[in-house]
Amino acid sequence: MNVLDLRPLTDPDMPIYLQLYWRFRNAIATGKLAPGDRVPSIRSLASEMNLARGTVETSYQMLTSEGYLIARGPAGTVVSPWCDGRIGATPPIELSALPQVHRVRLSEFQPLQLGLPALDAFPRKTWVRLAGRRLRGMNAGDMVSGDPNGYEPLRRAIAAYLAVSRGIACTPEQVFVTAGYRGALELIRHSLLQTGDTGWFEDPGYLHSRRFLEHVGMLLTPVPVDENGIDVEAGQRLAGNARFAVITPTHQSPTGVALSLPRRLALLDWAQAHRAWIIEDDYDSEFRYHGRPLPPLKSLDHSGRVLYAGTFSKVLYPGLRLAYLVVPEKEIGRFRNTIVQLGGSPLFFQAAVADFMEQGHFARHIKKMRSLYATRREYLIRALTQVFDETMQVPDRAGGIHVLAYLKSKLSDAALAAAANADGLAVMALSEWDTRSRSPAGLLMGFANIATPTQALDQVRHLRKIQKSL
């Protein structure tokens, strides 16, 4: 009889039925289970391994449908006679053997983690009700892939929202729904840019879009950022003939500064004169705690040079993977041609977001979060000031959902962030976002998931302890 390993299944990153499936496949591949070997009944294996019968049944069904096992009715289930040496040629990799980076638990998050909205404050009940209603009402038409530009009611809701909240006048036809901000960049890349095109990139700037753009063959010119945002004159000096500029004008990512009005106008003039594209990444403008927001570049764009990108990652949640892009009217055709090739986003979630917006939940949620984030931001800043005193400086920024704290010590931010990460604190080093190593040492920390002053103090004291130990 077989020599199946009956030790407990312990990989926390893989469902049990799948671990059991792989254990069988490994046993077959390595010859521990030979063709014709009888495998235990579902009931006896479940009891021996202390598993639910349904779990074992699911694994057996997978193995049977893939031809590894054959069910012979009352005679039991056996390893298929076709499972000879060939299937041992490429034994499946154990998940535990993969490098650590593949084993990040997607469901985990840390209170200081950058980029996350308050996950505890998301109106799940409303969301589940709306999504449930959509699912129950699903008809055959909803099973067809739908308009690749995006679900029309959602594009309408986005256009209406932008008109009211950002002063952007656009038609639903100008709005394209994408798979996150990177989806919007990909759409731009395929519609307007060529491999090897040069673009300005804020320095320091959003790490993930930099990596993405470089990955798809763009040549990025780092343009310094100061207290007034990206230095447009420097950009013109460094790469006056660039094809595009990627900008976060509302809260520069990661420094949080706002692009001054004179620079906004200079940037628009430059784009118009050089027929360059401005990619405006307006990723978290909803969250502002004092002062009046400056209008987005898109609202000042009279020559059709701005591509405006917004995302649902901060106002709803990043796992949705939904964002949008507003393109100049005269470019609609080009973008349509591209998105038909790239494919649209899942219809079901778009429909649920459209309902959420149309029924007023979206506006209510943003309003609530604005006040919650003001409180949570205060928790973190107070804790940092109290625990670090003069060794850390936190500039006052008007908005965003993270803080940048400058370090006044000889220790490099990368060393502190690495030690903090190793000890379970999800902070990031500013230097990682900087291509020319000109930024002062600083740490980036999210605050949206800091629920209490005590939690803020615990996190910050932990960070301080790590710093002192280095």
Ligand X SMILES: Cc1ncc(COP(=O)(O)O)c(C=O)c1O
Nearest approach in angstroms of CB 209 to ligand X is: 6
Spell 147-184 as b/e; 16+ CB within 10 A means b. bbbbbbbbbbbbbebbeeebebebebebbbbbbbbbbb
Query: Sign of dihedral through CA atoms 431, 110, 346, 315?
Result: negative
**What residue type is 372 in one-letter code?**
L
Nearest approach in angstroms of CB 441 to ligand X is: 21
Virtual torsion, Cα 90, 94, 95, 100, nearest 10 deg: -100
Decide whether 157 or 444 has the Cβ nearer to ligand X: 444
Nearest approach in angstroms of CB 402 to ligand X is: 8
307 contacts 277 by C-beta, under 8 angstroms: yes
Please tell me the distance from the alpha carbon of residue 178 to that of residue 344, in angstroms, as a whole number.
7
Pick one of 24, 161, 176, 181: the residue that binds ligand X (CB under 6 A). Answer: 181
43 contacts 52 by C-beta, under 8 angstroms: no
Nearest approach in angstroms of CB 84 to ligand X is: 46
Binding mask 313-332 for ligand X (x = CB under 6 A): x----x----x---------
Q: Does 248 participate in binding ligand X (rule CB under 6 A)?
A: yes
Nearest approach in angstroms of CB 443 to ligand X is: 16
Decide whether 68 or 206 has the Cβ nearer to ligand X: 206
Site for ligand X in 191-210 (CB under 6 A): 206
Q: Which helix (H) or strand (E) holds 418?
A: helix 413-422
Work out the angle at residue 37's Cα, subtended by the Cα atoms of residues 40 and 87, and round it to the nearest 5 degrees: 110
- Nearest residue to ligand X, using CB? 180
Q: Contact region for ligand X (CB under 6 A) — 99-107, 165-173, 176-184, 327-335?
A: 176-184
Q: Does 444 participate in binding ligand X (rule CB under 6 A)?
A: no
Nearest approach in angstroms of CB 317 to ligand X is: 10
Site for ligand X in 272-311 (CB under 6 A): 281, 283, 311
Nearest residue to 305 via CA among 333, 325, 279: 279
Nearest approach in angstroms of CB 78 to ligand X is: 48
**What residue type is 416 in one-letter code?**
L
Decide whether 248 or 431 has the Cβ nearer to ligand X: 248
Nearest approach in angstroms of CB 250 to ligand X is: 10
376 contacts 119 by C-beta, under 8 angstroms: no
Spatial CB neighbours of 468, under 8 Å, sequence gap ≥ 6 = none
Pick one of 182, 243, 264, 365: the residue that binds ligand X (CB under 6 A). Answer: 182
Q: Does 253 participate in binding ligand X (rule CB under 6 A)?
A: yes
Decide whether 181 or 388 has the Cβ nearer to ligand X: 181
Please tell me the distance from the alpha carbon of residue 56 to that of residue 44, in angstroms, as a whole number.
10
Decide whether 157 or 457 has the Cβ nearer to ligand X: 157
Give Cα separations from 426 to 10, 184, 397, 420 (angstroms).
Answer: 25, 27, 21, 7
Decide whether 323 or 429 has the Cβ nearer to ligand X: 323
3-state secondary structure 125-177: HHHHHHHHHHHHCCCHHHHCCCCCCCCHHHHHHHHHHHHHHHCCCCCHHHEEE
Decide whether 284 or 301 has the Cβ nearer to ligand X: 284
Decide whether 21 or 283 has the Cβ nearer to ligand X: 283
Radius of gyration of the chain (CA): 26
Other CB atoms closer than 10 Å to residue 77's CB: what's the count?
Answer: 19
**Three-class SS of residue 230?**
strand
Pick one of 40, 180, 229, 328: the residue that binds ligand X (CB under 6 A). Answer: 180
Query: What are the structure tokens assigned to 41, written together?
Result: 């009944």
Spatial CB neighbours of 262, under 8 Å, sequence gap ≥ 6 = none
* Alpha-helical regions (H) of 299-400: 332-342, 347-358, 361-388
Nearest approach in angstroms of CB 179 to ligand X is: 8
Decide whether 111 or 180 has the Cβ nearer to ligand X: 180
Q: How many residues bind ligand X (CB under 6 A)?
A: 13
Decide whether 58 or 253 has the Cβ nearer to ligand X: 253
Binding mask 97-136 for ligand X (x = CB under 6 A): ------------------x---------------------
Decide whether 255 or 459 has the Cβ nearer to ligand X: 255
Nearest approach in angstroms of CB 326 to ligand X is: 14
Q: Does 397 participate in binding ligand X (rule CB under 6 A)?
A: no
Decide whether 259 or 323 has the Cβ nearer to ligand X: 323
Q: Does 356 participate in binding ligand X (rule CB under 6 A)?
A: no
**Which stretches of the chain bind ligand X, using CB under 6 A?**
115, 180-182, 206, 248, 253, 281, 283, 311, 313, 318, 323
